[in-house]
């Protein structure tokens, strides 16, 4: 506001109305970590279509899994991904680097900005939401991917099962370690390769594309399941209902072939043992909400910590959650049943204010997928009538 008016005239001033709408962050930018014989090493490259990928990393003959995963991602509805080529052990030795195993290439090192390798390079890119290491079933690599997502807070890992399971059936198949930031998919998918013919490829690239497609068509709150796997010619193993009865409680999501319905993703669980984080869509919804609120309330920092600020923050977050409720992302007949936002003297007593903190308490009731649809059918008494 102007401090003084020295001459007659009309003065126009901009007034801050106090409301700063929160924007939903993206949810479907994927990072693919793999090996390619060509292309830059340890430099994440943004690709928005298949042509951009081939320009940097070559075609199917230049990588065993990476190219097929990225192609499946775009084919199934994905639009943005970062591709990180960690190279091979032989290439690393040629550069004079001491690398003991393939896992070391994926885990990487942190030598500061511009000198990071492996998964560490992805820490510099904030917009990544999903991380895949196609075809990497080594527990050490999968643990590194999960740890990366857990440390970054707003990322989710899609993990692949081994191509071949042990003799004895699917009951021998075990998921990776417990985590609410990852999901595990089985079995591998049969695709066409222009050079090798029909081959089996890991499911993570297909699943990442289905995540992106579901987010765009329905929203991140919709479970990415019961969706067609585009480009799939077959499966390494055809799972029966009885076999899925064994795998589903473990948190292993199956891809199944159904007569007249095609090959579909038939599971939406995380690998967490915590019932609160059982479903993929619940974890990813909270990731989106938490990151959106964190980025959308940066203006609050260093503002006077008083009742006026509390009301402004409450109003902004309430409006954001109201939009989610209207979109069907939160469960409840009324907004009061779906969520609450609390920022008052109770959450911010004098000692909290003196510590320079502002605490907002938020509760949400997310929608959960109808995983088990049950019809109760009984016989009608004799003489009953049925009419339209």
- Sequence-ordered strand ranges (E) for the chain: 30-34, 45-47, 81-85, 130-132, 156-160, 182-186, 189-193, 197-201, 234-235, 252-258, 262-266, 339-342, 361-364
Q: Are 283 and 180 in contact (CB under 8 A)?
A: yes
Among the residue ranges 88-92, 264-268, 366-370, the one predicted with the least confidence is 88-92
The pLDDT of residue 383 is: 52
Is the per-residue pLDDT at 387 higher than 60? Answer: no
Q: Are 191 and 199 in contact (CB under 8 A)?
A: yes
Rounded distance, CA 277 to CA 282, Å?
7
DSSP 347: T
The pLDDT of residue 388 is: 47
What the block records as the tokens of 298 is 């940066």
In the chain, % of residues over pLDDT 90: 78
Give me the helix-helix angle, 50-57 and 66-75, nearest 10°: 170
Each residue's pLDDT tens digit, 352-367: 999 999 999 999 999 9
**Mean local confidence (pLDDT), 276-285:** 96
Q: Are 142 and 106 in contact (CB under 8 A)?
A: no
Q: Structural domains in the chain? A: 30-282 (3.40.50.11780), 297-364 (no CATH)
Each residue's pLDDT tens digit, 238-257: 999 999 999 999 999 999 99
Adjacent-strand bridge partners of 185: 160, 253
Confidence of residue 384 (pLDDT cuts 50, 70, 90): very low
Rounded distance, CA 83 to CA 35, Å?
10
DSSP per-residue string spanning 141-203: HHHHHHHHHHHHSS-EEEEEPPSSPPTT-GGG----S-BTTEEEEES-EEEEETTTEEEEE-S
DSSP 250: G
Rounded distance, CA 77 to CA 213, Å?
5
Is the per-residue pLDDT at 386 higher than 50? Answer: no
The pLDDT of residue 20 is: 76
pTM equals: 0.91
**Between vectors from CA 116 to CA 113 and to CA 119, what angle results, nearest 5°?**
125
What the block records as the tokens of 21 is 């709408």
What the block records as the tokens of 156 is 């989710």
Each residue's pLDDT tens digit, 168-220: 678 888 889 999 999 999 999 999 999 899 999 999 999 999 999 999 999 99
Each residue's pLDDT tens digit, 115-136: 889 999 999 999 999 999 999 9
**Mean local confidence (pLDDT), 63-82:** 96
Q: Are 347 and 54 in contact (CB under 8 A)?
A: no
């Amino acid at each position: 506001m102007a401090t003084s008016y020295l001459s007659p005239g009309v003065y126009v001033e901009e007034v801050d109305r106090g409301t700063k709408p929160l924007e939903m962050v993206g949810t479907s930018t994927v990072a693919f970590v793999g090996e390619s014989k060509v292309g830059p090493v340890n430099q994440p490259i943004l690709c928005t279509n298949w042509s951009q990928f081939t320009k940097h990393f070559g075609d199917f003959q230049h990588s065993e899994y990476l190219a097929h995963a990225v192609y499946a991602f775009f084919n199934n509805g994905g639009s943005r991904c970062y591709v990180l080529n960690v190279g091979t052990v032989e290439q690393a030795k040629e550069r004079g680097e001491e690398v003991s195993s393939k896992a070391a290439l994926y885990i990487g090192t942190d030598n500061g900005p511009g000198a990071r390798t492996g998964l560490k390079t992805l820490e510099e890119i904030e917009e990544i939401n999903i991380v895949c290491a196609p075809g990497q079933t080594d527990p050490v690599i999968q643990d590194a991917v999960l740890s990366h997502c857990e440390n970054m807070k707003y990322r989710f890992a899609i993990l692949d099962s081994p191509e071949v399971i042990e003799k004895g059936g699917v009951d021998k198949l075990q998921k990776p370690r417990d985590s609410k930031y990852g999901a595990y998919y089985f079995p591998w998918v049969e695709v066409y390769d222009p050079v090798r013919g029909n081959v089996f490829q890991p499911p993570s690239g297909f699943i990442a594309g289905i995540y992106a497609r579901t987010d765009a068509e329905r929203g991140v709150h919709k479970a990415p399941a019961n969706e067609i796997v585009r480009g799939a010619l077959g499966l390494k193993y055809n799972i029966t209902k009885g076999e899925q009865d064994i795998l589903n409680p473990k948190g292993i999501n199956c891809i199944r072939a159904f007569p007249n319905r095609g090959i579909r993703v038939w599971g939406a669980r995380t690998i967490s043992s915590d019932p609160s984080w059982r479903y993929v869509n619940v974890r990813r919804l909270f990731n989106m909400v938490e990151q959106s609120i964190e980025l959308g309330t940066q203006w609050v920092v260093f503002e006077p910590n008083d009742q006026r600020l509390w009301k402004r923050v409450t109003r902004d977050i309430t409006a954001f959650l109201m939009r989610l409720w209207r979109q069907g992302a939160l469960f409840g007949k009324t907004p009061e049943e779906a969520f609450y936002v609390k920022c008052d003297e109770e959450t911010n007593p004098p000692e909290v204010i003196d510590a320079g903190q502002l605490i907002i308490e938020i509760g949400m009731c997310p929608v959960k997928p109808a995983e088990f649809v049950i019809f109760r059918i009984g016989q009608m008494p004799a003489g009953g009538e049925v009419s339209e």
